[in-house]
Amino acid sequence: MKYSKATNYALHTLIYLARQDSNTSIGVQELASQQQISTTYLSKILSQLVKAGMIVSTTGVNGGYSLLHHAKELTFFDVIQAIEGKSSLFECDPIHGPNCLVYKVMLEAEKKMEEELKTKKIFDIAKEIEGS
């Protein structure tokens, strides 16, 4: 299983934003430079995060991106869903029927992974990084 690079960049961007002063907006140039990616690519990812209600975009001279106040509760799972979507990682061919044991095993494993990712908060990881 593999998540897209967009998920990687989204997680790192949110952790970077969580480490900043909550009243500060960070420009896309700084965010892209921090991860050494293009501003165009990161802008698309940031748009998804804005749409998901995780960050806010501010225009103007001091514009940029910042976390919304409820972001302290954001989990890795929330971010993954915002970028990757809500579909299952494993799809079983209908030919195997609704009681496919392979599908049941894969679905159970996916649920356990989701449960773990729901326990990992962006702010907790940001604090760990600051303490390093």
Residue 72, domain CATH: 1.10.10.10
- What letter represents residue 95's amino acid? I
What pLDDT was estimated at residue 71?
A: 75
What confidence tier does 132 reach under pLDDT thresholds 50, 70, 90? Answer: low
Residue 95 has pLDDT above 90, yes or no: no
Token digits of residue 16 = 């970077």
Domain containing residue 48: 5-131
- The answer for residues whose C-beta is within 8 angstroms of residue 77's C-beta and 6 or more apart is 114, 117, 118, 120
**Segment 77-92, tens digit of pLDDT:** 999 999 999 888 888 8
- Looking at residue 121, its pLDDT comes to 96
Domain count, the chain: 1
Provide the whole-model pTM. 0.89
